[in-house]
A = this chain, B = another copy of it.
């Protein structure tokens, strides 16, 4: 149990498995070359780490709590626990900026050891940044460190157990450090699945899914992560919180929903009880073509309100359909215009066929064109690849980033137009703004934007105003600042527009109560 599982560590300045890094595919280079003047960027300058700010004697104390071998201060480990994987994070890392590096990385192996780390941090006023998969794209790993004796990364990499399975209630208790594929593998051995597949799935962790209210590509069928959680165990500086007495209750406010989305600011999630489902025997993903984004979105709305949602349902706008970012190896291939929808079905063969037939009838009746399984296979094949493409584009001198929001159906077009225009205006002529809908509800949907533009001399100074303009447009449209990427530090200035001055005050009150000395992720989430 004290053994640290080996796992592929992400490249500190790129997404994902370093072995998968690749130069920009020629076809993409060709297409992008039509729009941007691409350049080959030089190799990353050697980054220098500031020396650890925490006294060795204090770290020895920490080592007594978790084992000296689990308190790491080597440059490589600190570098790999610096920030997350937003484009600004990558740009800063590429520029050799390691100002947010932790002084040490501590790896507790149990709830009790997490509690011991927090007690140590309170005693010595050290800031603590809980670290799961490190895939955050909203600055949630860049806590404030001024005024603290130091900053440690609390790495959950040793907490990777499936603690319990209840086949009768169809629940499982998972430790927070399990990455998506690890959790699915443990559940698959029991004939079960969680069915939570965000794009970050290969590296993101169970604790992170809960702490950020993640939503996966199969959210229409399996539900958002917050809908999958029936219980939580949390270590806070003031002690343990354990919630989850029933699937639902009326015993006051649902406090589970206060810790879901708490981004490590209220406590460290040490176990998550999730609803699970039987492993699907069959997975089928179909492509449909729509004459316009509007027509496809209307079809999604009608399906959702008819209670006929497939497991996966996504729709690219005209621009994204033209580019097909989901399938880098096909970029620049022939397109036949319109908007591509993917409708995927998972379950028993009978359930898949029944739903597919019912959904197909509705879509065909609404004017959709059935493209068969090839576009679906293509999407499924490339579903986790886009972040690698981003690295290759950055290498080639293209600024690329994503952002997302959600709103009610009646407000969808206003939000789409507002955000698109804000981004195009900020990034200037030649900017590419692509969009898709990937999470659908009875009352509304998400909008996920991908943006590309020729990188300026200072791409960070180029992107940050564009992101701010998009956030302003989101707030002006009355939509949410984030549908599934959390608040972090990047969205924090806009949060108060969404939850109001008193909503922010409530978050501060809860924070003060559970973390009175403000050691947990200071500066993250709480306005």
Contacts and interface: CB of A to CB of B under 8 A. Distances in A.
A42 interface: no
Interface string A212-235: 111100000000101000100000
A409 B247 CA distance: 10
A491 B169 contact: no
Contacts of A441: 247-248
Interface stretch (A58-66, A76-84, A323-331, A479-487): A479-487
A305 interface: yes
A167 to B, nearest CB: 9
A512 B230 CA distance: 28
A191 interface: no
A257 B253 contact: yes
Given A250-B483, A406-B247, A495-B251, A509 B507 contact: no
A442 B442 CA distance: 20
Contacts of A215: 248, 250
A254 interface: yes
B407 A245 contact: yes
Contacts of A20: none
Given A166-B410, A170-B305, A444-B246, A251 B499 contact: yes
Interface residues of A, number: 85
Residue of A246, A252, A351, A405 with highest tally of chain B CB at under 10 A: A252
Contacts of A483: 246, 248-250
Contacts of A514: 502, 505-506
A241 B498 CA distance: 10
A351 B503 CA distance: 41
A17 interface: no
Contacts of A248: 213, 215, 224, 226, 406, 439, 441, 483
12 contacts: A169-B410, A169-B411, A171-B443, A243-B500, A245-B480, A245-B498, A247-B441, A250-B487, A251-B261, A252-B525, A253-B258, A254-B260
Given A249-B480, A254-B258, 20 more contacts: A168-B409, A171-B443, A213-B250, A238-B502, A241-B503, A242-B500, A246-B408, A246-B446, A247-B443, A249-B406, A251-B482, A251-B491, A251-B499, A254-B257, A255-B506, A258-B258, A502-B514, A506-B513, A506-B514, A509-B513
